[in-house]
Structures are given as structure tokens and as C-alpha cells.
Amino acid sequence: MSEVKSNMAGNLWKVLVGEGERVEEGQDVVILESMKMEIPIAAETSGTVKQLKKQEGDFVDEGEVLLELS
């Protein structure tokens, strides 16, 4: 199991994947909005989305877990 973490603080603008969905390494899974800029966050490993930890509109801090992959 692995996690996708936020590399900076910001608002979670878009979640691009759903639970149960297969994602590949390097695929953008969420888009953060920070300082009026959109920042895509990619999965570092391939896997299936086990659980979304944050929802669109949530504020996330640097290092927070966004979703879990299995």
C-alpha cells in the first residue's frame, strides 16, 4: 500500500480519480490550488485507489495524505 501526499499547502481544487480506479505511476490524481496557481499532484507508484482522504474544496497542508493506493 502507498499514499499520495500533498507537496504543498493549498486548496484541493479537483480530484481526478475515484475509489477503485486504477492509476499508473506519474498519473495526475488531484489538482491543488495554491497562490492562485493550479498544481497537479501525480501518483508516485501504480496501484488502485483504495480511499480518498480529502474532498474537493478541502484545505490541505504540506505532507497531508490525499489518497491511499493499494
Partner 1 sequence: MFEKVLIANRGEIACRIIRTCKKHGISTVAIYSEADIDSPHVKMASEAYLVGKPRVNESYLNIDKILEIAQEAGVDAIHPGYGLLSENTTFANRCEEAGIRFIGPDSSVIARMGSKVEARKAMVEAGIPVVPGIARPLLDVEDAVELAKEMNFPVMLKASAGGGGIGMQIARDEDELRKAYEGNQKRATDFFGDGTMFIEKCIENPRHIEIQVLADGEGNTIYLWERDCSIQRRNQKVVEEAPSIFLDEETKVKMGETAVKAAKALNYTNAGTIEFLVDEQKNFYFLEMNTRLQVEHPVTEEITGIDLVEEQLKIAAGEKLSFAQSDVKREGHAIEVRIYAEDPKTFFPSPGKITTFLPSKKPYVRNECAVSEGSVVTPHYDPMIAKLIVKGKDREEAIEYLLHALDDYKVEGIKTNIPMLQEVIGHEAFKNGDVTTKFITKYLKR
Question: Cβ of residue 16: shortest distance to partner 1, in angstroms?
Answer: 13
Binding-site ranges for partner 1 (CB under 8 A) = 8-11, 34-37, 39, 59
The nearer residue to partner 1, 8 or 65, going by C-beta atoms, is: 8
Sequence-ordered strand ranges (E) for 1-70: 2-5, 10-15, 22-23, 28-34, 37-42, 47-52, 59-60, 65-69
The nearer residue to partner 1, 42 or 50, going by C-beta atoms, is: 42
Question: Cβ of residue 51: shortest distance to partner 1, in angstroms?
Answer: 24
Residue 46 in grid coordinates: 501504480
Distance of CA 38 to the CA centre of its chain: 13
